[in-house]
Structure formats: C-alpha cells, structure tokens
Amino acid sequence: MIALDPLIVAGIVLVSVGIIYTLVSARAGIVLVGTGTVASGVFLFTIVPDAFNPFSILFNGLLVLFGLWMLSVGMKQECAQR
C-alpha cells in the first residue's frame, strides 16, 4: 500500500471540498477541483517508476492538463456581464 503523501492528501481534500463548495459558488468549486486535480497529477508523476513512459505521460499529463483547464475556466472573468 502506498503511504499517504502530503501532495495526494492535498489533492483529495481539494477535490472533495471543491465538489461540496460547488453548491455555494460554482466558480470557486471548479477552481478547488482543478487545483486538486493538478496536485493529484503531479503526485502520480512523482510515484511512477518510469514517468517518461508514453503511457504515463499520456494519462498523467491529461490529468494535469484538465486540472489546468478547470483552473482557467474557473478564474476566467465573464465578459457577457459587462
């Protein structure tokens, strides 16, 4: 069993809190979930024995990429309201 690393614990907590906080503020919830997803992806890059294997790069990179996308969507200002 893998020991609980602070990075994966932070990712789990951020995703969980983000999902719950989405009920209060969708924008803040998406930012929290995106941050947790990026943290989880970075953690997976650190524990994989062969991190530069194309299979690892594909799936872990997609996790980081989608997390960054969620961050950009959550932080983007709405132009329609101006």
Say if residue 55's pLDDT is above 90: no
pTM: 0.83
The whole-number pLDDT of residue 53 equals 86
Element containing residue 64 per DSSP (H, E): helix 54-75
Cβ atoms of residues 43 and 11 within 8 Å? yes
Measured distance between the N- and C-terminal CA atoms of the chain, rounded to whole angstroms: 52
**8 Å CB contact between 24 and 50:** no
* CA–CA separation, 61 and 80 (whole Å): 32
With H, G, I as helix, E, B as strand and everything else as coil, classify residue 22: coil
Predicted local confidence at residue 44, as pLDDT: 86
Predicted confidence at residue 38, as pLDDT, reads 95
pLDDT of residue 1: 59
pLDDT at 78: 58
